[in-house]
Chains A and B, each alone.
Chain A
Amino acid sequence: MPAYIVRRLVSGLIMVIVMSLVTFLLFFASPIDPARVSCGKNCSPALQKQVSKSLGFDKPVIEQWGDFLKGVVAGREFPADPAMRAADPKGVVHCSAPCLGYSKLQNATVGSLISNSFPISLSLAIVAFIFWIVGGVVLGVTAALTKGSLLDRGIVGTALVFFAFPTFWIGLFFYTFIAIKWQIVPIPVYTSIADGGVFTWLNGLLLPSLTLALFYMAGYVRMTRAFVLESMGEDYLRTAKSKGLAPRKVLIKHSMRAALTPLVTMAGLDLAGLMGGAIITESVFNYNGLGKLAVNATQQLDLPLTVGIVLVLATFVILANIIVDVLYAFIDPRVRVG
């Protein structure tokens, strides 16, 4: 098992490195000069050349990529050109390892920008995750147990509605009506636990995470229902029943145990994907999370920031994959890793 984990981590690392190269190459394939973007409004060819040099854009792509990887491991200093650093020692920005680059547009290191947004996205993802898993499983099992009844149809139908409604619509509805018009909850503003305590933190996250959760919950309701119904047709459930077990034990120990196992895989990957995937929700509620940061960076053609975010998010997905695979070996005894 440890050998397996090490092997997966190494292959994950290789994947992240390949990801960074692909992102680099994609950006340089575009016709826009990143130096022109970072140069500002009153840009002259000379100034643009200077910016290009200070950010290292004048070097070949592969060399830039090498510098980037070196920065991740050992840290970097900006401007990239040693002569420019010597000319203006005060303007030198030190970016300590793991350095993901420097955004000239924001005048900040990519690392600091990401670490500002990260807790917001993480909080949102985790609270939404709890909502959708609890809601999805409880409603899904209820629907499966009352299959064909009015309750079942109601749950499945409502889930379909939430699945079909665009997130921005639900988000805006929550924001305008529940928060502003009816004032059921305060207008959601992100407050970190350190600043306002758990209650304020949770209060601010309520509406956005619910918005996010409803979409996923809808999918999980339907999947849970399908998995539970599927497990009920299995031969081993008939065995459990023929032993004389109580219906509740048949359901919880035998049916649910089998039905919820595949959900673990999906939930792990969805959670990781959500880290940078809550763009719409973050925009509606004006949360400065990673998704919003990524969209802004791409729109402004902020190459270093984009590459940095892509890399961080890719690492999350890859890590989640490894965790889910290792976890699966524990929950399904038939799976042998290694």
Chain B
Amino acid sequence: MAKTQTTASVSRGAPTDEATVLSVQDLKVHFPTSDGVVKAVDGLDYTLQRGKTLGIVGESGSGKSVSSAAILALHDPKRTRISGEIWLNGTDLLTVSEEQMRRRRGREVAMIFQDPLSAMHPYYTVGNQIMEAYQVHNHVSKKQARSRAIEMLDRVGIPQPDRRVDDFPHQFSGGMRQRAMIAMGLINDPGLLIADEPTTALDVTVQAQILDLLQDLQREFNSAIMIITHDLGVVAEMADDVLVMYAGRAVEYGPTKEILTHPEMPYTWGLLSSVPDVKGDTSARLLPIPGNPPSLLNPPSGCAFHPRCTHRSKVPGDLCRTETPLLIEGNRGPGHTKRCHLANPEQIYETEILPVIAPDLVEES
């Protein structure tokens, strides 16, 4: 379950909890450009424990991929300003040298990407690329690395792995490529696996297989998984905790079941309203969130979501426009935080949102 967190940007130092793999504190990722500073991530806090899964949800451009790339220090340091703390296995990654960071990449934290075709080098065999990931952190012979690669390919469900190891990525199907990417990511048994939209580029049937595989492997390796997605179905399936991001900030954070059943932030409502339900009755409506994600160069004042929020009239005064809400606990108790000025979100959700998006649920109760 999620740790309660302070909202003030005060350094708390290394997490004392043994089970905590990753603790991100007040992470800011800014890109200075000639037009001004793009605040892609602007103050993000979360923790992730061994064997647990955190889902980060949000629209394109909400900063979810940027924040995860910061954990691996994949941003060009010359063009990025990163501040805050990223504690991974007791070390603040923002304080280590580039060489020390390099030694951690792939060994302590690995990443799998959205499009497995473009994420693999077209000119090298799948086996070569997996072996390379193993050999860079382990002093083993080529033969040992190869048998380890075959073993991993077998583990992720590639048929005839001893033969397919010599195939090129283009000879694999989309699902097999993503399996191979997972094999590459897990070959060094990292404590943390970041999956950046791992199923977005895949067929729906393959998506379920890949998610199952990830869950299987997570149980086997007991690693923490951070899954970045815009698909709430993936979150519901995979994540223990969920963090909803908007305009570079967390707007709602808590245990998945809690967030999906009792969301308290209009943006989360919007995301839920945008998900079609195949089993649901046809009178349920899909309600897209009006407008577009804001410019991170010049974000709206106050609550960044206010220009698109249909509930802002329920907040007295002009508070939504003038004052940025804090990420604090609402009426649902500790563990569920949200960034919203609404005083009675639960009531609004039950009387206005739920009847529209899931009428059958309301009738039942």
Contacts and interface: CB of A to CB of B under 8 A. Distances in A.
Contacts of A249: 136
A25 to B, nearest CB: 45
A136 B261 CA distance: 62
A244 B123 contact: no
Contacts of A234: 118
A238 B113 contact: yes
A176 interface: no
Chain B interface size, as a band, is: 20 to 34
A238 B106 CA distance: 12
A90 interface: no
A244 B115 contact: no
B292 to A, nearest CB: 25
B29 to A, nearest CB: 16
B102 A246 contact: yes
Interface in B158-213: 168, 170, 181, 184
A236 interface: yes
Given A238-B74, A238-B113, A334-B170, A244 B103 contact: yes
Q: Is the interface of A mostly helix, strand, loop or mixed?
A: helix
Contacts of B227: none
A333 to B, nearest CB: 5
Interface stretch (A197-205, A254-262, A281-289, A317-325): A254-262
B45 to A, nearest CB: 24
A17 to B, nearest CB: 37
Chain A interface size, as a band, is: 20 to 34
Given A235-B118, A239-B113, A334-B168, A261 B136 contact: no
B120 A239 contact: yes
Contact of B122 (A236, A240, A247): A236
A249 B113 CA distance: 21
A181 interface: no
B311 interface: no
A277 B111 CA distance: 51
Contacts of A243: 105-106, 110, 132-133, 136, 184
Contacts of A247: 102
A245 B132 CA distance: 8
A333 B168 contact: yes
Interface in B99-115: 102-107, 110-111, 113, 115
Contacts of B121: 236, 239-240, 254, 257-258
Nearest to A255: B121
A242 B105 contact: yes
Contacts of B56: none
Contacts of B168: 333-334
A85 B133 CA distance: 77
Nearest to A333: B168
Interface of A: 234-236, 238-247, 249, 254, 257-258, 261, 331-334
26 contacts: A235-B113, A235-B118, A236-B118, A236-B120, A238-B113, A238-B119, A239-B120, A239-B121, A239-B129, A239-B181, A239-B184, A241-B72, A242-B106, A242-B111, A243-B110, A243-B132, A243-B184, A244-B106, A244-B107, A244-B137, A246-B136, A257-B121, A258-B122, A261-B123, A333-B122, A334-B170
